[in-house]
Chains A and B, each alone.
Chain A
Amino acid sequence: MFNSTIEKLKAFKRGYSVNRKHKMIGWFFVIPGALLIFSFYFYPIIRAFLLSMQGGVGNNLRFAGAANYQRLFADTLFKKSLFNVFVYLILQVPIMLTLALILAGILNDKTLKFRSFFRTAIFVPCATSLVSYAIIFRSMFALDGFVNTVLMNLNLMAEPINWLGGPWTARLLIVIGLTWRWTGYNMIFYLAGLQNIDPAIYEAAKIDGASAFDRLTKITIPMLKPIILLTTIMSTNGTLQIFDETKNLTNGGPANSTLSVSQYIYRLSFEYVPRFGYAAAVAFVVFIIVAILSFFQMKVGDER
């Protein structure tokens, strides 16, 4: 009885237990970041949601409830833009990530000559400006541009392809551009991941007679899983919000067949009669789609 009182008194004197103190210090470090994230991420998200409940044009906004979200279902342009970004997503993300993985595998080979040169060369595209590469692609793929000239001189084609003129060739062009720009970026993540795999595992596998393909599918990919998951989520997120490429390469054309959701939001806010509420609703739908897709990817990718 007496002893326990002393204990309590001692605890009171010390103020907080060591454990508690550690936690306090932890919070101390977390709080500035958390506050910044709250004020620059969560607060705008909440405000965007509130804005998406408002209808009307320009400054004449009034509360409209879910009217903006109902409007989405009737909006052919919104559906078209959503279809377009899913085309990019389904075509481009797997191609890019597979390529990045293969390139990372090749560049991880320590016997390869000029390794750092290749690594830099493949990474450089993602240090270029989005706008300038889009404009260069545009001129390269013009009717009398570089690509058509090369293809014709190689006698691969009789007539030049009007890349920017057809809906599917224009979409393909966006996919090619995106792949060129972002493969190196994802490759760097894989290369970093590969550094963490113990070479002894590969040696053991080789001794057991595993082929290169076996080593890739049974060792590399499973061990890189968390990083593959990370790159998939990042790429999905990036592709769904694509703006610069479609704006500068094709400007959404021909006949809106490359229009992306972000570009549609831009048009709704700054080119058309401004409907900020509706634009916010479109943006919010993209946010929800990204959240759902990321959730699924995490469920599929994470077995813990």
Chain B
Amino acid sequence: MNKKLTVLFFMVLMVAGFTTMTFAQEETTITVWCWDPNFNIYAMEEAAAIYGDLNPDVNIDIKEVAWEDLQTQLSTSLSANQTDNLPDIILMQDTALAKNVNSFPNAFYDLSDSGIEFDNFANFKVELTKVDGKNYAVPFDNGAAINAMRVDVLEEAGYTIEDFTDISWEEFIEKGADVKEKTGKPLLSAIAGQSDLLMIMMQSTGNWFFDQNGEPNIADNEPLKEIIRVYQELLEKEILVQINDWNQYISTFQSGTVAGTMNGAWIIGSIVPVEEQAGDWRITNLPRLANIEGSSNYSNQGGSSWMVMANSEKPEVAADFLDKTFGGSKELYEIILPSSGAIATYLPAGDSEVYNMPHPFFGDQKIYTEIIDYAANVPEVDYGIYNYEARDTISTAITQIMSGQDIQSALDEAQSTLEFQMW
């Protein structure tokens, strides 16, 4: 009760027009929950160091919490109205953002009027962090999709990376089949029963699994049917191999059994550790679905953003921290990029020297500027609240189609399952 009163008190103070300076003079601790020590936590630590120079009275306390645990703790605490143990700032998967904001209204702090300039971030990413027109998060890592390929293998078959740039899936299949025939190597691998690659293809068309009113759109979703057709053809011609889990997926391209991969830009982190392949890799954009109107060569997979919790005692301090670091510090992005490969969606960072550096592993290709360019072109889609349900029903439908069921009946089934789950 006391705490609620305190929060109320601070809110009254804020309304009364007191600036953050008034109470930033006393020592404030902002707790942050995020995952991945090499990537998110590292970036947060650097951000804390930068903010420490601007505002020495604020301590940033970073705690490592895996995403699944974070979601579980968030759901449990919020549904029990026990918010004392929650932090001030959390890292949120973009795919789960709308779901959480809708399920727990008033749990997240509205950042629309916090002074953060959202125009500086890639459009598609800002769109994902908006619910009902309000900005709930500061965009962070870049999930812009890349097509990473082994040029030494392509060369063996007489191709270059340019032959795979700005192409359609038809051309990709044609050339991919040729590469497979000449070198014996497929160009892609995907986890059976998971729809990540299909999701990437789907977003490249600018469509998703819901219509404008948020109703499921699966059974009559023409882009989806086209995508499934392409996916089947990739499998039939053995350009795409299916494996069973994530570790096998990583090992297919690390061991060189597969000559490329398509995923969010963060997959680079798993490509570069294999030193004997240094210089053999290049990145390019995705093939587009030529038969689908509005289809592009760009897409997105994964990514996360920083949110401020409404239960925070000093949400405006937390927001200010994000504004001065992830929301406005080119310096921060320059620091974190070389050592962690954390590519941002903060567009001004793209002009920086560091982003223009050639990457020796990719044959001195300027991959970071490329990726920032891709990010600016990714079609905006609204993942919607029921994104996880949609993902699972699509995965199920794909598995059924691959084991012989016809496309329409599997999609009809998926449509009714999803309709039921949203009911």
Provide the bound-state CA to CA distance between A76 and B412, in Å.
14
Of B104, B192, B392, B420, the residue contacting A59 (CB under 8 A) is B104
Q: Tell whether, in the assembled complex, residue A270 and residue B79 are in contact, meaning their CB atoms are under 8 Å apart.
A: no
A59 in contact with B105 given A74-B420, A255-B399 (CB within 8 Å): yes
**Complex CA–CA separation, A166 to B105 (angstroms):** 41
Task: Tell whether A57 is near chain B: CB-to-CB under 8 Å.
Answer: yes
B79 A255 Cβ-Cβ under 8 A: no
From B99, B244, B385, A143 is in contact (CB under 8 Å) with B244
Bound Cα distance A230, B300 (Å): 54
- Assess the B417–A76 pair: CB atoms within 8 A: yes
A165 at the interface (CB under 8 A from B): yes
Within 8 A of A (CB), among B378-409: 385-386, 388-389, 392, 395-396, 399-400, 403
Q: A76 to B75, alpha carbons, bound, how many Å?
A: 25
B102 and A254 contact, CB distance less than 8 A: no
Bound complex: CA A75 to CA B423 (Å): 11
A273 at the interface (CB under 8 A from B): yes
Does A272 reach chain B (CB closer than 8 Å)?
Answer: yes
Cβ contacts under 8 Å, B81 to chain A: 59
Cα A76 to Cα B107 in complex, Å, equals 32
B79's partner among A59, A138, A143 (CB-CB below 8 A) is A59
Contact with B72, one of A75, A166, A270 (Cβ below 8 angstroms):
A270
Complex partner residue of A58 from B79, B245, B399, CB under 8 angstroms? B79
Q: Given A58, A60, A165, A272, which contacts B386 in the complex, CB threshold below 8 Å?
A: A272
Is the pair B102, A255 in contact by a Cβ cutoff of 8 Å? no
Flag A134-146 by CB within 8 Å of B: 1 or 0 each.
0000100011000
In the assembled complex, the CB of B201 is this many whole angstroms from the nearest CB of chain A, namely 20
Contacts of B403 in A (CB 8 A): 166, 254-255
Q: Is B421 an interface residue (CB 8 A)?
A: yes
Asked if B104 contacts A58 (CB within 8 A), the reply is yes
Residues of B338-353 whose CB lies within 8 A of A: none
Contacts A58-B104, A255-B400; A274 near B244 (Cβ below 8 A): no
Among A10-49, those with CB < 8 Å from B are: none
B178-199 vs A, Cβ < 8 Å mask (1 yes, 0 no): 0000000000000011000000
Q: CA of A276 to CA of B80 in the docked complex: distance in angstroms?
A: 11
Partner of A274, one of B79, B193, B417, B421: B79
Contact present for A253 and B105 (CB under 8 Å): no
> Cβ of A228 < 8 Å from any Cβ of B?
no
Q: B78: CB under 8 A from chain A?
A: yes
- Contact flag A138-B399 (CB < 8 Å), given A58-B103, A75-B420, A270-B72: no
Given contacts A143-B244, A255-B399, contact A273 B420 (CB under 8 A): no
Q: Which of B75, B105, B392, B396 contacts A270 (CB 8 A)?
A: B75
Cross-chain contact of B71 among A76, A138, A254, A270 (Cβ < 8 A):
A270
Report yes or no: B420 in contact with A76, Cβ–Cβ below 8 A: yes
Q: Which residue of chain B has its CB nearest to the CB of A165? A: B192
Cα of A253 to Cα of B397 in the assembled complex, Å: 12
B248 on interface, CB distance cutoff 8 Å: yes
User: Across the interface, which residues of B come within 8 angstroms of A267, CB to CB?
Assistant: 392
Give, as a whole number of angstroms, the nearest-CB distance from B154 to chain A.
26
Minimal beta-carbon separation of A295 from chain B (angstroms): 32
- Tell whether, in the assembled complex, residue B421 and residue A272 are in contact, meaning their CB atoms are under 8 Å apart: yes
Taken together as a complex, chains A and B put the C-alpha atoms of A166 and B68 apart, in Å, by: 27
Do the beta carbons of B103 and A59 come within 8 Å of each other?
Answer: yes
A269 close to B399 (CB less than 8 A): no
Task: State the CA gap A120–B148 with chains docked (Å).
Answer: 51
Nearest B residue to A141 by beta-carbon distance? B244
Residues of A within 8 Å of B78, CB to CB, are: 58-59
- With A59-B105, A272-B389 known, 4 other A-B pairs at CB within 8 A are A254-B193, A270-B71, A272-B421, A274-B103
- Residues in chain A within 8 A of chain B (CB atoms): 57-60, 71, 74-77, 138, 142-143, 164-166, 253-256, 267, 269-274, 276
Interface CB pairs A-B, < 8 A, 22: A58-B100, A58-B102, A58-B104, A59-B79, A59-B103, A59-B104, A60-B103, A60-B105, A74-B420, A75-B420, A76-B416, A254-B192, A255-B403, A267-B392, A270-B68, A270-B71, A270-B72, A271-B388, A272-B421, A273-B103, A273-B385, A274-B103
